[in-house]
Homo-oligomer: A and B are copies of this chain.
C-alpha cells in the first residue's frame, strides 16, 4: 500500500483533529476531466492497522469543505476507527460547462454519469464516487477496501442511496440525512436527470432510490434515514421519504426512517444525529 506522497494526490492542507488528521487533497480526475478535491479524516487507528472507509456525499451548493468543517463527525469516526472521505459535489473549473443557478451544474453534479451534451464530457460523478475515488483511497491510505460504507445529505443522500443500492458488493452500510429519495418525482430531480441523462425518463430509474429498491429487491443491509419535520424542502415535496419508505416496504428492504420534530435541512440537524449514523456504519464496518 503506497503512502500519501504518491504523485496522484496533492496535499493542500492538513490539520490535527481528535487524535487523527483532516487532510484536503486535489488530483487530476480521469472521470471528470478536471482537477477535483476531496477531504479525508484519517483516524488515529490508521497508524496501527488498515481502517474501514465511510464516504459522505454532500448536498447542493456544497464543496469538499462543508461536511468536514460542520458535521462534527470526526469525534465519532475516531471512536470507531473509521476513515471519512468527503468529495466535492461536481466537476468544476475552466472548460467545465455550467449554467446560472444553484440547483444544476457546478455544485450540483447529482451523482450521475451524464450522457447528454454538453454535460457528458465532465459530469461523471457516479463513476467518480463509485470507482475513481475508491481506487485513489485504496491506493493511497491504510484502509481496508473490503469495508466501505456510504452516507450523505440531501442531493448527497440521494447519491448515497443510489450508489449503495446499486453496488452491494462495494458498500456494506448505507444511511442518509434528508435525502432526495424519489428524484424522478420532484423538480430538482426532474431538472437534473432531464438535462444530465436526457429527457427520456426511461433512463432515469438508475438514479432514483425509490425506483431502484423496487427493481433490485431487498438486501440484508439495514438503511437508516433521518428527516427533519421542519425541513422546508420536505414541505416542497423535493425529498419524498414516504415514497422511499413505501418502496422499501413493498420490496422487504429493511429501513429505519426517523422523522425528527424541530429540525430543518441544515448542518445543525446533521450534526445532531451524526453520532447515530456513525454508529450505524461502525457496527457493520468495524464488527
Interface members, chain A 55-79 (any B CB < 8 Å) = 69-70, 72, 74-75
Chain B residues near A72: list those with CB within 8 A.
Answer: 72, 75, 271
B15, B230, B269, B271: the one contacting A268 at CB < 8 Å is B15
Interface members, chain A 72-109 (any B CB < 8 Å) = 72, 74-75
- List the 5 shortest-distance A-B pairs measured between CB atoms, nearest first: A16-B262, A17-B268, A15-B268, A16-B263, A72-B72
Q: What would 22 A/B residue contacts be, using CB atoms closer than 8 Å?
A: A15-B263, A15-B264, A15-B268, A15-B269, A16-B228, A16-B230, A16-B260, A16-B263, A16-B264, A17-B268, A17-B271, A18-B271, A19-B272, A22-B268, A69-B69, A69-B267, A72-B72, A72-B271, A74-B268, A74-B271, A74-B272, A75-B272
Chain B residues near A194: list those with CB within 8 A.
Answer: none
A230 to B260, CA, bound (A): 40
A61 to chain B, nearest CB (A): 15
What does the 1/0 interface line of A172-199 toward B look like (CB < 8 Å)? 0000000000000000000000000000
Interface size range on A against B: 20 to 34
A138 to B230, CA, bound (A): 29
- Asked whether any CB of chain B lies closer than 8 Å to the CB of A50, the reply is no
A264 and chain B: residue at smallest CB distance: B15
A110 to chain B, nearest CB (A): 26
Contacts A16-B269, A69-B69 known; 13 new A-B pairs at CB < 8 A: A15-B263, A15-B266, A15-B268, A16-B260, A16-B262, A16-B263, A16-B264, A16-B268, A16-B272, A18-B272, A21-B262, A69-B267, A70-B70
